A and B are shown apart, each in its own frame.
Chain A
Amino acid sequence: MTKPTSPPTATVRKLWRFHGGLHLPDHKSLSCEQPIQPAILPKRLVLPLQQHIGAAAKPIVAVGERVLKGQMIGQPDGFVSAALHAPTSGTVVAIEERAVAHPSGLTAPCIVLESDGEDRWVELQPHGNWTALDPSELRNLIREAGIVGLGGAGFPSFIKLNPGARTEVDTLILNAAECEPYITCDDRLMRERADEVIAGARIMRHALHARRVVIGIEDNKPQAHAALGAALARIDRSDIELVQVPTLYPTGGEKQLIKVLTGREVPSQGLPIDINIVCHNVATAAAVHRAVERGEPLLSRIVTVTGRGVATPRNLEVLIGTPIDDLLRQCGGTTPTLARLVLGGPLMGITLPHGGLPITKTGNCILALAPGEFGQHGPVRNCIRCGECARACPANLLPQQLYWHARAKDFDHAQDYNLFDCIECGCCAYVCPANLPLVQYYRYAKTEIWAQARDKKKAELARERHDFRTERQEREKAERAAKLAKKKAALEESPAADSEEAKKAAIKAAMERAKAKREAAGIEPQNTENLTADQQRQIEEAEARRATEKKNESANERE
């Protein structure tokens, strides 16, 4: 590892700005002042096998099996996949399709666990001396612990801790921005467990061989900033840079945070590793610390339960798979005015039809919105081409043009205007005076383009298969024709082609060939061949009897 060269945290540091962004009322005070409370152990946990980007985990337990807390119950399936562990001890009661929190409303395969209330741990294997471990061993530990990005994306973290053979990771960025209003789980985590975050950061840096570490935190979290600074001072490390960035939505977006902290932009359709940067959420770092130094797999996360639709908003430490209703109940229950239940933040969260769904590894906030929290929602009007959307867009797109083309179903032009660079942050829709559902238009356009691409691929495949089949049939026809022509030529050439003997000889030769083929194929010869003398005599007698019977019959008929 190279010697750290970044200055200590107190010096003034250069920051860049990304285009647009919004100053939003942050509503953080609703939930950020109370300490994290452990959630009540639920009776039943529903664990989706896919709580991450990539292939769903494969269940490795059977119904009726008793499991311990921290025991692996789902194995990663392939490279881009994550493991699943039992968040508490109990019995597996089902492995079946269950309703999960997804915009589609579809069900997904889940392992249903009934807790026995004892919360008994499996034997853990801590690695206190992780500096001695090879980065690939570290990554394996993290993979086995089922850690995925806890900021919301859920990408298997071990993959993002692999720089690859030909890449030098220059900067590891820890995303402590938490830019969406209402959400305070990372804030409380940093205030209460800053040491774990820093420890995790050091482990990640070791795995990546990163040249430097930068923690980016928005300036609306002064206590968290102080806590992290104190944690850094305690371990006397000045090579991890703690940087306060201006509070602006969506600074917590990976691409935007990278621009603010380093001035560099992630190339379109590319990844941060393309510019030698890796970005992880602070909660992921804390989880990495627990996995490596304590041997604890990812079993729980901090969830903010907030909004005016819930009686006492606060942060809870929740076991994965806990029903959301349980969390709402622990926070005093929902108020009768509850108008919308959202999983996530007010700008990018998904609505939940009801609270009976389970919390997953990526569920960072339960937002119970009451009327009055939605802002101005007038009638949808025509676009007045005011350009406010373009002024607010953090990707510097022209949302207006995307809107017009998506509305006209002109997907080629929509892609010309870089539709797929849209991060669906909602800034454009927030500022639109005409109340246009802009983000919905872009989602529609994106999914239509994907559907068209899928159809095109299927059509391509069908065409290839058709072409191959046509070609094959023609080839076979040609071969048959060639064979026939050859045979005809052979017959014409031989002199006694038409004579009886020639024909008989040909027939006999064909029968011999057939027999040989049958014997070669192991087919048993029929019982009318290779007869013994006795059998032959019986047959002749039977034939004679039949002949006389027939004669008598015809004689009787004549009479």
Chain B
Amino acid sequence: MTNPVISSPHVHGPANVSNVMLRVAYALLPAIAGSLWLFGWGVLVNLLVASAVALASEATVLALRGRPVLITLRDGSALVTALLLAIALPPLAPWWLVAVGSFFAIVFAKQLYGGLGFNPFNPAMAGYVLLLVSFPQEMTSWAAPAGLRSADLGLVQVLLHSLTGALPADIQMDALTSATVLDTLKVQLGMAHTVNEVRGGPIFGLFGGKGWEVVNGLVLLGGLWLLWRRIITWHVPVAVLGSLGVIATLFHLINPELYAGPLFHLASGGAMLGAFFIATDPVSGATSARGQLVFGIGMGLLIFVIRTWGGFPDGVAFAVLLMNMAAPTIDYYTRPRVYGHTRG
């Protein structure tokens, strides 16, 4: 009897890309649930459209490339990209917005580079930025959170709105949407109001925006669960949130009337999502621990800079893409000292 001849190692640990991706999806569930409760069915419609388009476009490109379709789809990375993108998009966005973003993210920002593992940029963020820059109006009409809405849409109504843009006769768009806190802050500061004055407004909650801070808190919970399950390490989230907090504190101390405090920044916009889910994307981030710290610090600083002095209300997506560009250089300069070699 001849046994198979294959070289060592002969055993393998339990880790597996599908499991990793699945766990990331699980970690997003609390935030999705919270979003649904606060912003209505739009979130679900976005998720469904994004997932469907992502999986379909990935399957098509794989077939065109002659790669095994089902096995590759099963790694779950397209699904995770779709989820992240869907959460980041406005809940009342038209279906085509979500579809274009999803399609671009999967096809251009991932598959055309060679598929999973070859993309230099985070695909979800690349899709998001494309939409932000190309369709600014649709991207900035955010749904109002539960406490601030004057009307509610049922699932079917949301679907109809998404597909056709039509609203029920008695509901206006104004009743459903409101500006985000970051948007409001930027605009109001531009009109020479102080931070404190703006903070007193109706859309502001304890730390950040009403409702938004809840979603961000749920994202934080999901992120901590990922940390506990060792899907991610502490370096990136701590670096992002830490540097954002530090620089926000610094400027807030310098001039509290012009610069919002650290808690506001951490609880608003995509900071939590960025720290735990976006920047931790292994493919587009830095690899070594020190590299990840540098990556996270750079991202935190950029988020603050773009939010405060940039043209867009939230800087998470741009910050990530900029740091993605820097990741190879960061990797090169943060190589560990190999056993048996002296430093230098």
- Contact in complex: A433, B339 (CB < 8 Å): no
A387-B288, A390-B288 are known contacts. Are A431 and B15 too (CB-CB below 8 A)? yes
With A266-B340, A385-B287, A421-B340 given, is the CB distance from A349 to B8 under 8 Å? yes
Which chain A residues lie closer than 8 Å to B336 at the CB level?
A: 19, 390, 396, 398
**In the bound complex, do residue A353 and residue B282 qualify as a contact, i.e. CB atoms below 8 Å apart?**
no
Q: Verify B10–A103 contact, CB threshold 8 A.
A: no
Q: Does A255 contact B (CB under 8 A)?
A: yes
Q: Which residue of B lies closest to A379 (CB)?
A: B71
Instruction: Please determine whether A376 and B14 come into contact, CB atoms closer than 8 angstroms.
Output: yes
Which one of B16-24, B85-93, B131-139, B249-257 is at the A interface?
Answer: B16-24
Q: Mark each residue of chain A from 367 to 378: 1 if its CB lies under 8 Å from any CB of chain B, else 0.
A: 101000111111
Tell yes or no: A430 within 8 A of B by CB: yes
Which of the residues B2, B11, B12, B118 comes within 8 Å of A353, measured between beta carbons? Answer: B2
Query: Given the known A-B contacts A338-B3, A351-B3, A354-B2, are A386 and B9 also in contact in the complex, defined by CB atoms under 8 Å?
Result: no
Chain A nearest CB: distance from B11 CB in Å?
4
How far in angstroms is the closest Cβ of chain B from A532?
Answer: 85
Nearest-neighbour CB distance to chain B for A482, whole angstroms, equals: 59
Instruction: Known A19-B339, A397-B338; judge A375-B11 contact (CB<8 A).
Output: yes
B30 at the interface (CB under 8 A from A): no
* B147 located at the interface, meaning its Cβ lies under 8 Å from any Cβ of chain A in the complex: no
Q: List residues of chain B with CB within 8 A of the CB of A385.
A: 117, 282-283, 285, 287
A344 contact set on B, CB distance < 8 A: 8
Q: Are the CB atoms of A348 and B15 closer together than 8 Å?
A: no
Q: Are B12 and A377 in contact (CB under 8 A)?
A: yes
Q: Are A342 and B15 in contact (CB under 8 A)?
A: no
B9's contact among A19, A269, A348, by CB below 8 Å, is which? A348
Per the 8 Å Cβ criterion, residues 231-279 of A in contact with B are 255, 259, 265-270
Q: Is A390's CB under 8 angstroms from B287's CB?
A: yes
Task: Please tell me if A74 contacts chain B, counting CB pairs below 8 Å.
Answer: no
B115 at the interface (CB under 8 A from A): yes
Task: Answer whether residue A352 sits at the interface, using C-beta atoms and an 8 A cutoff.
Answer: yes
Q: Which of B6, B20, B71 contacts A386 (CB 8 A)?
A: B20
B12 pairs with A418, CB closer than 8 A: no
Establish whether residues A382 and B340, one from each chain, have CB atoms under 8 Å apart when the complex forms. no
Tell me whether A381 is interfacial, beta carbon within 8 Å.
yes
What residues of chain B lie closer than 8 Å to A396, measured between beta carbons? 336-339
Which residues of A are found within 8 Å of B288, using beta-carbon distances? 387, 390, 398
Which A residue sits closest to B6, measured CB to CB? A351
| CB pair A418 B9 closer than 8 Å | no
A339 proximity list for chain B (CB < 8 A):
3-4
Judging by beta carbons under 8 Å apart, are B341 and A268 in contact?
A: yes
Given contacts A376-B12, A378-B18, contact A383 B117 (CB under 8 A): yes
Evaluate contact between B8 and A352: CB separation under 8 angstroms: no
Of residues 302 through 339 on chain B, the ones whose CB sits less than 8 Å from some CB of chain A are 335-339
Residues of B within 8 A of A58 (CB): none
How many angstroms between the C-alpha atoms of A432 and B2 in the bound complex? Answer: 29
Within 8 A of A (CB), among B97-137: 114-118
- B15 and A347 contact, CB distance less than 8 A: no
A505 to B293, CA, bound (A): 100
CA distance in complex: A388, B340 (Å): 21
CA distance A24 to B11 in the complex (A): 10
A355–B11 alpha-carbon span in the complex (Å):
21
Is A110 in contact with chain B by the CB < 8 A criterion?
A: no
Query: A324-342: which have CB < 8 Å to B?
Result: 338-342
Give the complex CA separation of A342 and B11 in angstroms. 12
Interface residues of B, count at CB 8 A: 41
Instruction: State the CA gap A21–B287 with chains docked (Å).
Output: 18
From A387, A421, A433, A435, name the one whose CB has the most chain B CB atoms within 10 angstroms: A433
Nearest residue, chain B, Cβ from A386: B282
Known contacts A349-B8, A387-B282; is A22 also within 8 Å of B340 by CB?
Answer: no
Residue of B nearest to A416 (CB): B335
How would residues 81 to 118 of chain A score, 1 for a CB under 8 Å from any chain B CB and 0 otherwise?
Answer: 00000000000000000000001010000000000000
Q: Known: A387-B287, A421-B339. Is A443-B17 also a contact (CB below 8 A)?
A: no
A341 with B339: CB separation less than 8 A: no
CB nearest neighbor in B for A382 = B117
B3→A353 contact, CB < 8 A:
yes
Contact of B13 among A22, A266, A421 (CB under 8 A): A22
Check B10 against A340 for contact (C-beta < 8 Å). yes
Report the bound CA distance from A59 to B117 in whole Å: 55
Q: Which residues of B contact A387 (CB under 8 A)?
A: 282, 287-288
* B18:A340 contact, CB within 8 angstroms: no
Q: How far is the CA of A336 from the CA of B288 in the complex (A)?
A: 45
- Looking at the assembled complex, report how far the CB atom of A559 sits from the nearest CB atom of chain B, in whole angstroms: 92
Is there contact, CB below 8 Å, between A382 and B116?
Answer: yes
Contact A426 B9 (CB under 8 A): yes
Answer whether A382 and B15 are a contact pair too, CB < 8 Å, given A369-B10, A395-B338. no
B6: contacting residue among A265, A340, A426, A430, CB under 8 A:
A340
Whether B338 contacts A418 by the Cβ 8 Å rule is yes
Task: Report whether A340 and B4 are in contact in the complex, using a CB–CB cutoff of 8 Å.
Answer: yes
Determine the residue in chain B with the shortest Cβ distance to A342.
Answer: B10
B116 & A384 in contact (Cβ 8 Å cutoff): yes
CB proximity of B337 to chain A, nearest CB, Å: 7
Which residues of chain B are within 8 angstroms of A259 by Cβ–Cβ distance?
Answer: 339
Q: Which residues of B contact A418 (CB under 8 A)?
A: 338, 341
Further 4 A-B residue pairs, CB within 8 A, beyond A181-B11, A352-B3? A340-B4, A344-B8, A351-B8, A396-B337
Which 3 A/B pairs are nearest by Cβ-Cβ distance? A426-B9, A382-B117, A268-B340
User: 9 A-B contacts, Cβ less than 8 Å apart?
Assistant: A22-B13, A268-B340, A349-B10, A381-B75, A384-B116, A385-B283, A430-B12, A432-B12, A435-B16
What residues of chain A have their CB less than 8 Å away from a CB belonging to chain B? 18-19, 22, 24, 103, 105, 181, 255, 259, 265-270, 338-342, 344, 346-354, 367, 369, 373-379, 381-388, 390, 394-398, 400, 417-418, 421, 424, 426, 429-435, 439-440, 443
